């Protein structure tokens, strides 16, 4: 056994699993089982996310397969699932609509196909930028974005997903518009709903909300994912309502039409998935609007992927660390291949990754197995997948959107500080009123304004002021002056890593001379303390005795008392 494979986890005392040939054989059973369980979750979500993005349903499966079989082996992240994610729906459908399409709403027309191909070209360029981003070792830039603004952006994405998918879950045709316009139309959607389709969507949504409680009734239910239960209920309902054939029915004296347009469009024969391979239309790049969406895909997709990869590292029982630059290259390479065959953009996805961990996965081969199961399923039984009602997939996404914009998110941010809630809400509203990029930059602007009001000197907005003094052979004293805030954290962090982890020394960080240590830095200092601990060193933080928290939360921003 190699030295690398014989390392022991400081937390568990067990051998650290590695995704190599030895790990493949040793953890085959655990990874295969987890891969299968994640596949059961991923299949309906991949189909639903693709449709919500304005792509054919099978495009989402293409992405998950490529992410599982290609990106998994480029990245060194052991437990991250790569694939399509709800967080990119807003950008993907925005790109399709910018090129004149509206996706599968009312049927996938020639205009929709043209817009889809143009969106693939946008994906190609964004993927190349991600690969360059990784090779330039620029993954650290994800550290720049303040946490409250990021969470506000994600909550806004959740709201947008809800208002975009609710009409589909209710069977309302032709519902489209800007998020705030669609929010105003919600009462109209309920008055215009198709009763049979709405029943499928409503029961599917109820299952998604109730299943976490029902699972407590018996241990066997814990291994059955809610999306699978939804399919087991919704598919028979669709068959009972005879959605395979177009017909009219009456309800309270009103006639309603149902038919195949309310089912997922899938290949009509075994291995027909390969007929759906689609190539990008690079004429899109001649249109100025394409470059806006390229930038959106690149920035937001990269940010979400990096944040997810970091979150999975924190959940990893063996605390293995992902090389974020390498992971970004993996995501970019996966996106490049996906865009050339008709797939959605991918990221390191947090929900399926957490399920992967909860299911007992040990190595990256669990991700590979989930992709192989998806490939076999879509290649071998596409006609069965065609029986899935769109309303059921929309209900799953409405639930996903609700989790992103859950009321507890607001309460959690409020506990950290009222100023954090202000940044969160401003970002959320700004995203709904404009778009993702403008919205998050408005949130960043509000945060910088709050910092200036709290006395942060202009000269330290983007530059940390750190004094370094050696205290013996194995300890360095770092004294921070002026401020320790999100916008100067990248250079701040680099100093701590260079002086501590690279030089293999302990660090004492004195924050007594800072006028403000913001919430983002407070949280990131805890993360880097864990990094030091795992390497056998210590990052000790002192000097906050004369600061007061802007709330009672341990991670609240800390401001220097005026009397100090």
CA 479 to chain centre: 36
Residues 435 and 495 in one domain: no
pTM of the model: 0.90
Cα 479 from Cα 471, distance rounded (Å): 12
Total domains, the chain? 3
Residue 121 has pLDDT above 90, yes or no: yes
The tokens for 156 are 């806004």
**CA torsion angle 427 527 409 316 (round to 10):** 120
Residue 265 lies in a domain: yes
- Among residues 352, 350, 355, 361, the alpha carbon closest in space to that of 33 is found at 361
The confidence score (pLDDT) of residue 8 equals 39
**What is the domain-level CATH number for residue 514?**
3.30.750.24
User: pLDDT-based confidence at 116, cuts 50/70/90?
Assistant: very high
Q: How many angstroms separate the Cα of 436 from the Cα of each of 120, 284, 531?
A: 20, 21, 32
- DSSP conformation class of 11: T
The confidence score (pLDDT) of residue 222 equals 84
Structural contact between residues 279 and 121, judged by C-beta atoms closer than 8 angstroms: no
How big is the chain, counted in residues?
564
Residue 5 lies in a domain: no
Residue 5 has pLDDT above 50, yes or no: no
Residue 3 has pLDDT above 60, yes or no: no
Q: Which residue has the tokens 């701590």?
A: 496
Number of C-beta neighbours around residue 459 at 10 A = 10
Angle 227-232-237 (CA atoms, 0-180°, nearest 5)? Answer: 115
Q: Which residue has the tokens 């495009």?
A: 59
The tokens for 427 are 């970002």
Cα 509 from Cα 539, distance rounded (Å): 7
Phi-psi region of 252 (alpha: psi -120 to 50; beta: other; left: phi over 0): left
User: pLDDT-based confidence at 102, cuts 50/70/90?
Assistant: confident
Helix (H) or strand (E) holding 470: strand 465-470
User: pLDDT-based confidence at 138, cuts 50/70/90?
Assistant: confident
What is the pLDDT averaged over residues 399-411?
95
Between 7 and 246, the higher pLDDT residue: 246
Q: What is the pLDDT of residues 357-388, one digit of tens each?
A: 999 999 999 999 999 999 999 999 999 999 99
Helix (H) or strand (E) holding 348: strand 347-349
Share of the chain above pLDDT 90, in %: 85
Domain that holds residue 445: 410-453
Q: What is the pLDDT of residues 258-302, one digit of tens each?
A: 999 999 999 988 889 999 999 999 999 999 999 999 999 999 999
Residues 265 and 125 in one domain: yes
Cα 332 from Cα 117, distance rounded (Å): 19
Which of 438, 453, 468 is the endpoint of a domain? Answer: 453
Residue 387 lies in a domain: yes
Residues 113 and 215 in one domain: yes
Number of C-beta neighbours around residue 503 at 10 A = 12
Residue 83 lies in a domain: yes
CA 39 to chain centre: 17
What is the pLDDT averaged over residues 157-186?
93
Residues with Cβ within 8 Å of 430's Cβ and at least 6 positions away in sequence, in order, are: 156, 438, 439, 440, 442, 443
Residue 282 lies in a domain: yes
Q: How many angstroms separate the Cα of 212 from the Cα of each of 10, 221, 229, 234, 554?
A: 32, 9, 12, 18, 30
The tokens for 123 are 């994906």
Cα 81 from Cα 90, distance rounded (Å): 21
The tokens for 92 are 């993907």
Residues 426 and 476 in one domain: no
Mean pLDDT of the chain: 93
Which of 400, 418, 445 is the endpoint of a domain? Answer: 400
Residue 10 has pLDDT above 60, yes or no: no
Residues 479 and 466 in one domain: yes
The confidence score (pLDDT) of residue 218 equals 84
What is the pLDDT averaged over residues 482-494?
96
Residues 374 and 503 in one domain: no
CA-based R_g, the chain, Å? 25
Helix (H) or strand (E) holding 540: strand 539-542
User: pLDDT-based confidence at 13, cuts 50/70/90?
Assistant: very low
Q: What is the pLDDT of residues 439-469, one digit of tens each?
A: 999 999 999 999 999 999 999 999 999 999 9
Residues 353 and 447 in one domain: no
DSSP 154-209: HHHHHHHHHHHHHHHHHT-TT--S-HHHHHHTHHHHHHT--HHHHHHHHHHHHHHH
Residues 147 and 171 in one domain: yes
Residues with Cβ within 8 Å of 97's Cβ and at least 6 positions away in sequence, in order, are: 54, 115, 176
User: pLDDT-based confidence at 564, cuts 50/70/90?
Assistant: low
User: pLDDT-based confidence at 217, cuts 50/70/90?
Assistant: confident
The confidence score (pLDDT) of residue 211 equals 94
Residue 15 has pLDDT above 90, yes or no: no
- DSSP conformation class of 455: T
Residue 9 lies in a domain: no
What is the pLDDT averaged over residues 412-420?
96
* Partners of 507 in the β-ladder: 476, 539
- SS3 (DSSP) at 440: helix
Residue 430 has pLDDT above 70, yes or no: yes
- DSSP conformation class of 457: -
Which of 419, 434, 453 is the endpoint of a domain? Answer: 453
Between the two ends of the chain, the Cα-to-Cα distance in Å is 57
Structural contact between residues 163 and 338, judged by C-beta atoms closer than 8 angstroms: no
* Partners of 359 in the β-ladder: none
Q: What is the pLDDT of residues 30-41, one digit of tens each?
A: 999 999 999 999
Residues 427 and 466 in one domain: no
- DSSP conformation class of 215: G
What is the pLDDT averaged over residues 81-100?
94
Residue 106 has pLDDT above 70, yes or no: no
Residue 427 lies in a domain: yes
Largest CA distance in the chain: 87
Cα 297 from Cα 471, distance rounded (Å): 46
Residues 416 and 493 in one domain: no
The confidence score (pLDDT) of residue 14 equals 59
SS3 sequence of 243-292: CCCCEEEEECCEEEEECHHHECCCCCCCCHHHHHCCCCCHHHHHCHHHHH
Residue 250 CB burial class (10 angstroms; 0-12, 13-18, ≥19): exposed
- Among residues 406, 451, 443, the alpha carbon closest in space to that of 426 is found at 443
- Among residues 392, 122, 116, 165, the alpha carbon closest in space to that of 276 is found at 116
- SS3 (DSSP) at 506: strand
Residues 184 and 55 in one domain: yes
Residues 58 and 158 in one domain: yes
Q: Which residue has the tokens 């205290």?
A: 471
Residue 7 lies in a domain: no
The confidence score (pLDDT) of residue 1 equals 32
């Amino acid at each position: 056994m190699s030295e690398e494979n014989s390392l022991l986890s400081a937390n568990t005392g067990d051998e650290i699993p590695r995704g190599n040939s030895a790990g493949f054989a040793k953890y085959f059973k655990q990874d295969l089982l987890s891969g299968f369980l994640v596949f059961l979750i991923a299949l309906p979500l991949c189909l639903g996310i693709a449709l919500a993005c304005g792509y054919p349903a099978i495009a989402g499966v293409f992405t998950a397969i490529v992410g599982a079989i290609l990106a998994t082996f480029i990245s060194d992240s052991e437990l991250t699932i790569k694939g399509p994610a709800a967080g990119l729906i807003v950008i993907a459908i925005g790109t399709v609509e910018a090129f004149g399409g509206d996706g599968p709403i009312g049927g996938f027309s020639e205009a929709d196909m043209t817009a889809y191909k143009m969106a693939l070209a946008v994906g190609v360029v964004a993927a190349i930028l991600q690969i360059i981003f990784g090779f330039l070792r620029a993954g650290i830039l994800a550290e720049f974005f303040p946490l409250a603004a990021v969470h506000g952006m994600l909550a806004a994405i959740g709201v947008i997903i809800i208002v975009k998918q609710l009409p589909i879950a209710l069977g309302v045709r032709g519902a489209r518009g800007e998020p705030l316009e669609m929010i105003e139309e919600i009462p109209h959607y309920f008055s215009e709903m198709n009763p049979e389709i709405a029943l499928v969507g409503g029961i599917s949504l109820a299952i998604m909300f109730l299943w976490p409680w029902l699972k407590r009734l018996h241990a066997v239910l814990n291994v059955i994912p809610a999306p699978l239960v939804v399919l087991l209920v919704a598919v028979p309902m669709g068959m009972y309502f005879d959605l395979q054939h177009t017909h009219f029915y009456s309800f309270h004296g009103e006639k309603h039409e149902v038919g195949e347009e309310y089912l997922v469009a899938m290949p009509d024969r075994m291995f027909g998935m390969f007929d759906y391979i689609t190539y990008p239309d690079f004429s899109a790049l001649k249109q100025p609007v394409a470059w806006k969406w390229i930038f959106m895909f690149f920035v937001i997709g990269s940010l979400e992927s990096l944040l997810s990869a970091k979150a999975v590292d924190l959940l990893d029982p063996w605390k293995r660390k992902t090389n974020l630059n390498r992971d970004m290259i993996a995501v970019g390479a996966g996106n490049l291949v996906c865009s050339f065959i008709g797939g959605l953009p991918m990221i390191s996805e947090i929900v399926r990754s957490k399920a992967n961990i909860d299911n007992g996965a040990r190595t990256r081969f669990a991700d590979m197995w989930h992709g192989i199961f998806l490939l076999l399923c879509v290649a071998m039984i596409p006609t069965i997948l065609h029986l899935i009602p769109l309303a059921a997939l929309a209900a799953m996404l409405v639930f996903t959107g609700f989790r992103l914009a859950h009321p507890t998110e607001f309460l959690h941010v409020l506990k950290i500080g009222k100023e954090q809630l202000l940044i969160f809400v401003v970002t959320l509203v700004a995203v709904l009123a404009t778009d993702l990029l403008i919205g998050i930059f408005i949130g960043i602007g509000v945060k910088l304004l709050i910092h200036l009001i709290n006395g942060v000197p202009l000269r330290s907005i983007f530059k940390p002021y750190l004094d370094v003094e050696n205290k013996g052979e194995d300890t360095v004293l770092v004294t921070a002056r002026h401020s320790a805030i999100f916008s100067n954290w990248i250079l701040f962090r680099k100093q701590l890593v260079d002086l501590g982890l690279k030089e293999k020394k302990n660090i004492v960080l004195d924050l007594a001379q800072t006028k403000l240590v913001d919430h983002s830095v407070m949280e990131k200092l805890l993360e880097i303390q864990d990094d030091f601990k795992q390497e056998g060193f210590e990052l000790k933080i002192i000097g906050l005795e004369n600061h007061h928290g802007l709330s009672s939360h341990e991670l609240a921003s800390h401001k220097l008392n005026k009397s100090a």
